C-alpha cells in the first residue's frame, strides 16, 4: 500500500496541507492592508485609469474638440444619454456649408457607463475620465454640456 | 515579584476586624464575584475587538476604524446596541428553559474563568482537583446550548443544538486526555501547584514530544469546544442561520456571544497554564541574568501575554480553514484525535516512569 494511503501517512499528508493553508494566511496577516479609507485619503488615492466615471471631450493643442457631429454616439447609446445639436456653418474659403457641432449634451443621470459611445466614435472625440465624485442635490445639474 | 496574597490577606483581615466572621465571608464572596464578573466582561470586550482586528488582518483589511481612534469604541457601541434591544419571547417555546439556557452557558464559563491563575495569588478557585473541576464546569455549558436549541421551537435551533452536543461531548474526551498527559507529567491537579512546578521550565519544554502533541490536540479540541470555525457546525450561518441561538435576541443573544468569546479566552488560558506555565516567567536553566530580568515582568503580564498568543493561534486557525461536515468532525475526533491522544498518554507515562523528562 502506498504510504499516503496508510493511517500515519494520511495524518502526515493532512498536517502538511493544513500547514500550507496556515502559511498562506500568515503571509496575508503581515502584508500591507488594502483598505482605502476614502474621505481621508482623498489626496493620495489612486483611481484606475480604466475606471469609467464621467464622459468628457479631450481637446487638441488648439483647444478644439475632435467631434464631427456624426451622431454615432447618440444613436448607439442604449439609454439615450447623449443629445447632439448641430448647426450649419459656411466655409469662407470654399463657400461650402458644413454641419458642425453646436452643443454636445450628456445626461450623467441616465448614463450606465457601458462605453459604447467611446468605442463607436470614429475620431476618439469622447472618453471617460475617473472623476467619480458626481453627487449633486439637483437632477438638473447632471445634464452637462460637454463642448465648450 | 508582586504577590497578590499579601493584598488579599490584608483585605481579609480588615473585613474580619470590622464585622463578624460570617458577614466577612459573605462580603468577600460578593466582592470576589463582582471582580470576577467585571473582569469577565472586560476581557470579553477586549476579545471581541481583537477578533475583529485579527480577522481583518488575515483578510488583508483594516477592520473597524471609524468609531473612536482605530475603532476602539466600536465594541462599546455594539454592546450598547445589544443592551437596548428587545428580548423577544417566542410563541409556543418552553419559556422557562428558553430563559434559563443563556444563563447556564454564561454560568459555566464564569465558573471556568474563575479557575484561571492570573498571577501569583490572583485566582478565585484553587483546590486539589482544580483541573478536574475545570473539566466539569466547562462541560455543562453544552447543557445550556442543548436547552436553547430544544426550547426555541425551531428546527434550525434544534439541529444546531444536537450537532453541538455531538461535537462538544466528543471533543471533551480529547481535552481530558491532553489534560491527563500534563497531570501525569506534573503529578498534581491543583492549578497553583501546576504553575509552581513550571517555574524552572514550562511543561511544553519539560514534556518535549508528548507535551507538544498534547498541546496540538488540545488546540484542535479546544477550537471544537468553543464552536468556532472550522468546527462552527452548531452555528453554520449558511445552513442554520445562527444554529442554537437563532431565536435569541437582545442581551440573551449577547450572553451566548460573550460566552463564546470567553470560552475561547478560557481555552487559551488553560492551554497557557498547562503548557506555557501560567504566570510563571520564562526561565532557561543556567542563564541566571536572563532569568532575573524575566522575573521583573509581573506574572499577570506573563499570563495575559501567553493567553493572547494562544488566542491569536486559535484565530489564525479560525480564519484559515473552511467549515467541516458533521461526519468529518466526528471522524476526526473518534478516528484520529482520540487514538493519537491515547497513544500520546502512553508515551508520556513511559517517559515519566523512565525519567526521560527534563
**Residue B131 in grid coordinates:** 483541573
Say which of B62, B317, B340 has its CB closest to residue A33: B62
At residue A123, what are phi and psi to the nearest 5 degrees?
Answer: -110, 5
User: Does the beta-carbon distance from B62 to A37 stay under 8 Å?
Assistant: yes
Residues of A in contact with B57 (CB under 8 A): 28-29, 33
- Residue range B46-89, pLDDT digits in tens: 888 888 888 888 888 888 888 878 888 888 888 888 888 888 87
pLDDT confidence of residue B284: 72
Distances (CA, A) of A59 to A102, A147, B146, B204, B345: 16, 9, 72, 73, 80
Residue among A15, B333, A13 at smallest CA distance from A2? A13
Q: How far is CA A36 from the centre of its chain?
A: 19
Residues of B in contact with A24 (CB under 8 A): 320
Say which of A22, A25, A35 has its CB closest to residue B61: A35
Residues of B in contact with A28 (CB under 8 A): 57-60
Other beta carbons less than 10 A from residue B217's beta carbon = 22
Residues of A in contact with B58 (CB under 8 A): 25, 28-29
User: Does the beta-carbon distance from A28 to B59 stay under 8 Å?
Assistant: yes
pLDDT confidence of residue B322: 86
pLDDT confidence of residue A120: 93
Task: Give the model's confidence band at A137: pLDDT under 50 very low, under 70 low, under 90 confident, else very high.
Answer: very high
Nearest-5° Cα angle at B256, B255 to B259: 80
Decide if A51 contacts A132 (C-beta within 8 A).
Answer: yes
Section A26-44 average pLDDT: 84
Residue % of chain B over a pLDDT of 70:
99
Section B200-211 average pLDDT: 80
CA distance B216 to B168: 17
pLDDT confidence of residue A63: 79
DSSP letter string, B77-129: HHHHHHHHS--PPPTTS-HHHHHHHHHHHHHHHHHHHTTS--BTTB-S---TT
User: Does the beta-carbon distance from A22 to B60 stay under 8 Å?
Assistant: no
Residues of B in contact with A9 (CB under 8 A): none
pLDDT confidence of residue B3: 66
Half-sphere exposure of B119 (CA within 13 A, CB side): 18
CA distance B131 to B134: 5
Rounded to the nearest angstrom, the minimum Cα separation between B160 and chain A is 26
Task: Give the model's confidence band at A87: pLDDT under 50 very low, under 70 low, under 90 confident, else very high.
Answer: confident
Rounded to the nearest integer, the mean pLDDT of chain B is 84
Give the DSSP H or E segment for A54.
Answer: strand A54-56
CA distance B261 to B258: 5
pLDDT at A23 over 70: yes
User: Does the beta-carbon distance from B58 to A25 stay under 8 Å?
Assistant: yes
Q: Which of A10, A28, A31 to mutate to test the interface with B (most CBs of B within 10 A)?
A: A28
Q: Which of B50, B59, B318 to mutate to test the interface with A (most CBs of A within 10 A)?
A: B59
Q: Which of residues 287-316 of B touch A (CB under 8 A)?
A: 316
User: Does the beta-carbon distance from A29 to B58 stay under 8 Å?
Assistant: yes
DSSP SS3 for B271: helix
Residue among B12, B316, B147, B190 at smallest CA distance from A27? B316
Residue among B286, B303, B316 at smallest CA distance from B195? B303
User: Does the beta-carbon distance from B60 to A18 stay under 8 Å?
Assistant: no
Rounded to the nearest angstrom, the minimum Cα separation between A17 and chain B is 11
B331 touches chain A (CB under 8 A): no
Residues of B in contact with A23 (CB under 8 A): none
Q: Residue ranges per domain, chain B?
A: 38-354
Section B94-106 average pLDDT: 86
- Residue range B270-322, pLDDT digits in tens: 898 888 887 877 777 777 777 777 777 777 888 888 899 999 988 898 888 88
DSSP SS3 for B18: helix
Residues of A in contact with B59 (CB under 8 A): 28
pLDDT confidence of residue A1: 60
Rounded to the nearest angstrom, the minimum Cα separation between A114 and chain B is 30
Say which of B58, B317, B340 has its CB closest to residue A28: B58
Residue % of chain A over a pLDDT of 70:
99
The alpha carbons of chain B give a radius of gyration, in whole angstroms, of 21
Q: Residue ranges per domain, chain A?
A: 1-34, 54-145
- Residue range A100-128, pLDDT digits in tens: 888 889 998 888 989 899 999 998 888 99
Out of B11-15, B30-34, B147-151, which region has the weakest mean confidence (pLDDT)? Answer: B11-15
User: Does the beta-carbon distance from B61 to A25 stay under 8 Å?
Assistant: no
The ipTM assigned to this model is 0.72
Structurally, what CATH architecture does the domain formed by A54-145 represent? Answer: 2-Layer Sandwich (3.30)
B18 touches chain A (CB under 8 A): no
Rounded to the nearest integer, the mean pLDDT of chain A is 86
User: Does the beta-carbon distance from A21 to B60 stay under 8 Å?
Assistant: no
Section B240-258 average pLDDT: 81
B60 touches chain A (CB under 8 A): yes
Residue in the block written with cell 476602539: B72
pLDDT at B1 over 60: no
Residues whose CB falls within 8 Å of the CB of residue B14, separated by 6 or more in sequence, listed in order: none
B321 touches chain A (CB under 8 A): yes
The total number of residues written for chain A in this structure: 148
Amino acid at each position: 500500500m502506498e504510504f499516503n494511503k496508510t493511517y500515519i501517512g494520511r495524518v502526515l499528508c493532512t498536517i502538511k496541507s493544513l500547514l500550507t493553508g496556515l502559511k498562506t494566511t500568515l503571509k496575508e496577516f503581515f502584508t500591507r492592508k488594502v483598505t482605502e479609507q476614502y474621505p481621508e485619503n482623498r489626496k493620495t488615492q489612486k483611481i484606475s485609469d480604466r475606471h469609467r466615471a464621467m464622459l468628457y471631450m479631450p481637446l487638441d493643442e488648439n483647444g478644439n474638440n475632435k467631434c464631427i457631429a456624426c451622431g454615432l454616439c447618440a444613436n448607439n447609446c442604449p439609454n439615450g444619454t447623449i443629445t447632439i445639436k448641430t448647426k450649419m456653418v459656411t466655409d469662407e474659403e470654399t463657400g461650402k456649408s458644413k454641419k458642425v457641432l453646436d452643443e454636445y449634451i450628456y445626461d450623467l443621470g441616465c448614463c450606465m457607463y457601458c462605453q459604447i459611445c467611446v468605442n463607436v466614435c470614429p475620431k476618439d472625440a469622447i472618453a471617460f475620465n475617473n472623476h467619480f465624485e458626481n453627487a449633486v442635490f439637483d437632477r438638473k445639474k447632471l445634464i452637462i454640456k460637454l463642448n465648450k | 515579584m508582586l504577590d497578590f496574597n499579601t493584598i488579599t490577606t490584608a483585605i481579609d483581615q480588615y473585613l474580619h476586624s470590622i464585622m463578624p466572621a460570617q458577614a466577612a465571608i459573605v462580603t468577600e464572596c460578593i466582592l470576589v464575584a463582582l471582580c470576577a464578573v467585571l473582569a469577565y466582561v472586560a476581557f470579553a470586550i477586549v476579545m471581541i475587538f481583537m477578533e475583529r482586528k485579527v480577522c481583518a488582518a488575515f483578510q488583508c483589511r483594516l477592520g473597524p476604524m471609524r468609531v473612536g481612534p482605530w475603532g476602539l469604541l466600536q465594541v462599546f457601541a455594539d454592546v450598547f446596541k445589544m443592551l437596548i434591544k428587545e428580548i423577544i419571547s417566542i410563541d409556543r417555546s418552553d419559556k422557562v428553559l428558553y430563559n434559563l439556557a443563556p444563563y447556564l452557558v454564561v454560568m459555566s464559563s464564569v465558573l471556568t474563568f474563575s479557575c484561571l491563575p492570573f498571577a501569583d495569588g490572583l485566582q478565585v478557585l484553587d483546590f486539589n482537583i482544580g483541573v478536574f473541576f475545570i473539566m466539569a464546569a466547562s462541560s455543562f455549558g453544552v447543557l445550556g446550548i442543548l436547552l436553547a436549541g430544544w426550547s426555541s421551537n425551531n428546527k434550525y435551533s434544534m439541529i444546531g443544538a444536537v450537532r453541538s452536543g455531538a461535537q462538544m461531548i466528543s471533543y471533551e474526551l480529547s481535552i481530558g486526555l491532553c489534560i491527563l498527559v500534563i497531570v501525569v507529567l506534573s503529578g498534581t491537579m491543583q492549578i497553583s501547584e501546576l504553575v509552581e512546578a513550571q517555574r524552572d521550565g514550562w511543561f511544553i519544554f519539560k514534556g518535549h514530544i508528548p507535551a507538544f502533541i498534547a498541546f496540538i490536540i488540545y488546540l484542535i479540541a479546544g477550537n471544537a469546544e468553543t464552536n468556532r470555525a472550522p468546527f462552527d457546525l452548531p452555528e453554520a450561518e449558511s445552513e442554520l442561520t445562527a444554529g442554537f441561538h437563532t431565536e435569541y435576541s437582545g442581551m440573551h443573544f449577547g450572553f451566548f456571544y460573550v460566552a463564546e468569546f470567553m470560552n475561547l479566552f478560557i481555552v487559551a488560558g488553560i492551554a497557557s497554564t498547562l503548557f506555557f506555565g501560567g504566570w510563571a516567567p520564562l526561565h532557561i536553566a543556567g542563564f541566571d541574568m536572563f532569568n532575573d530580568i524575566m522575573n521583573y515582568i509581573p506574572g499577570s503580564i506573563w499570563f495575559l501575554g501567553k493567553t493572547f498568543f494562544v488566542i491569536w493561534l486559535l484565530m489564525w486557525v479560525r480564519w484559515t480553514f473552511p467549515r467541516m461536515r458533521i461526519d468529518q468532525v466526528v471522524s476526526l475526533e473518534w478516528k484520529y484525535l482520540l487514538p493519537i491522544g491515547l497513544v500520546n498518554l502512553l508515551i508520556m507515562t513511559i517517559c515519566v516512569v523512565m525519567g526521560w523528562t527534563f
